[in-house]
Amino acid sequence: MVAGTGRALIARRVGVWPRVSGVYSGHMSAGTLTLCDDCGLLQQSPRLPPRGSAQCVRCGKTLHRHQPDSVNRTLALTLTGLVLFIVANSFPFLSFEMQGRSTETTLITGVVDLTAQGKGEVAAVVFFTSILAPGLQLLLLLIVLTPLKLGRPLPPGFPTLFRWFKRLVPWGMMDVFMIGILVSVVKLTDMANIVPGLSLFAFVVLIFVLAAAQASLAPDVVWERVPLPPEARRPPARGEVVVGCDVCELVVPAGAAKIDRQGRARCPRCTDVLHRRKPRSLERTWALLIAATICYVPANLYPIMAVTSLGQTQADTILSGVLFLLHHGMWPLAIVVFTASIFVPLLKLLLLFFLLLSVHFKSSWQPRRRTLMYRVTEAIGRWSMVDVYVVTILVALVRLGNLASIEAQAGAVFFCAVVILTMFAAMSFDPRLIWDAMEQDHVGARSGSPSVAAT
Ligand SMILES: [Zn+2]
Ligand SMILES: [Zn+2]
């Protein structure tokens, strides 16, 4: 089974299916125990060859990936990324030239202009997703990896810093911002001359460098450096409930978890609160999903921006933006904007409604396919930010008063809310609930959960 560079390996299940997925059946060596994030199955991870990966036997999720020379490669990419980040934020980004007049923008101009137009909520989201989250990710990687590379003691609060890095990853959306730039430039080509600045080139390279840094990072290598208390190192007893940490992926016997002052079980390695399932997953997901559905209506009915050209003002909704691109023969971009702004949010709402109802009615239909649907909702949501970025970039570029100017409108606020609420909804949903319904006939998955971990 352990062969060939790059070959996918399958994690091993031992003997029969466990009756309750989080209970140790006594057949595995504790050092390589893994709990799958997506289906909750306890299994044994094989030793990986270079660049090999291990998949869950039940749902197919990639559990581990071997990254050769992870620390050196990730650190080199992080340092390159930091230099590019400083360049991208220090020089002109795009220039807009029309009838002898011009405006010059930097990366932050759109955020400042949106705030000035009273759309502070949208400005905060754009600032966080396009500048702050990528910048913080690079900084946290530098702080975490430098002592590892130099063989120095780990900095205080190291697990918290690395935990924050992991939490920030889905919120860095520079790649989506890039699509926003493309759409904005194409929209303005008839009207004016757009000149790219030095920052834009640094920004494009940074997208690839940050993605490469994330891909070359093997979190196991980092977590292995955090010493474990003896209690957490003991193998679970046969039939004992084990708990997996969602952040550092440590699997420990429930009794080995540290209990804090509020009585919550905490991971002995990264100190994150341990849950057998995400707390109040269904209630939270329902609440966020209903809020997103309500916001979806004004997001599509209200204009997202008002365009003033030669003294005449015209309001643009999301749909009219797509039609504009179609009428001007730019159908590839029209398809991109339609998919990102209309199709993806609707698909995400429908998939989440379907998943919630299927869990509610304890459906046993195709759990593997439903887990895949969940992964799709998690992966596609961020691409809907394209239109929010288009508004931000246009507002920053087109600032020539009555000659030509663009102002953000209420639709942009509601649309931004839809994207963020559906992202939080997907994060709140626990796909392990899909599989719990499959175990209802057995010992009873829920009654088997340890009291310390049921926070
Ligand atoms: Zn799984
Ligand atoms: Zn942990």
Q: For residue 84, give the CATH number of its domain.
A: 1.20.140
- Nearest-5° angle of CA 412, CA 416, CA 420? 175
Query: Tokens representing 394?
Result: 């246009």
Output the CA 11–ligand 1 centroid distance in Å.
Answer: 10
User: Residue 14's pLDDT is what?
Assistant: 39
User: Residue 22's pLDDT is what?
Assistant: 58
Q: Are residues 43 and 112 in the same domain?
A: no
Q: Tell which phi-psi region holds residue 283, choosing left (phi > 0), alpha (psi between -120 and 50) or beta.
A: alpha
Please, what are the averages of pLDDT over each run of 10 residues along the chain (455 residues)?
Answer: 44 44 53 83 82 87 88 97 97 89 90 94 96 97 93 84 91 95 88 91 97 92 84 79 87 84 88 88 97 97 92 91 88 90 95 96 92 95 92 92 90 96 96 84 38 30
Q: Are residues 54 and 172 in the same domain?
A: no
Taking the CA of 247 as reference, the closest ligand is: 2
Taking the CA of 267 as reference, the closest ligand is: 2
Q: Are residues 84 and 173 in the same domain?
A: yes
Q: Last residue of a domain, which of 244, 269, 294?
A: 269
Taking the CA of 61 as reference, the closest ligand is: 1
Output the CA 33–ligand 2 centroid distance in Å.
Answer: 14
Tell me the three-class secondary structure of 233-255, residue by residue. Answer: HCCCCCCCEEEECCCCCCEEEHH
Taking the CA of 257 as reference, the closest ligand is: 2
Output the CA 272–ligand 2 centroid distance in Å.
Answer: 6
Query: Which domain does 60 fall in, by range?
Result: 1-66+227-269
Output the CA 297–ligand 1 centroid distance in Å.
Answer: 36
Q: Are residues 307 and 406 in the same domain?
A: yes
Which helix (H) or strand (E) covers residue 10, if one does? strand 8-10
Strands 8-10 and 53-55: parallel
Give me the number of domains the chain comprises: 3
> 324 φ, ψ to 5°?
-55, -45
Q: Are residues 410 and 324 in the same domain?
A: yes
Output the CA 39–ligand 1 centroid distance in Å.
Answer: 4
What letter would DSSP give residue 131? Answer: I
Q: Are residues 358 and 209 in the same domain?
A: no
Output the CA 225–ligand 1 centroid distance in Å.
Answer: 26
Query: Tokens representing 235?
Result: 């193998």
Output the CA 252–ligand 2 centroid distance in Å.
Answer: 10
> Do the beta carbons of residue 181 and residue 392 sit within 8 Å?
no
> 240 φ, ψ to 5°?
-80, 145
d(CA 446, CA 354): 22
Q: Are residues 256 and 141 in the same domain?
A: no
Output the CA 211–ligand 2 centroid distance in Å.
Answer: 24
Output the CA 60–ligand 1 centroid distance in Å.
Answer: 6
The structure tokens 């429930």 sit at: 254
Which helix (H) or strand (E) covers residue 8, if one does? strand 8-10
User: Residue 186's pLDDT is what?
Assistant: 87
Taking the whole predicted model, whether its pTM rises above 0.85 is answered as yes
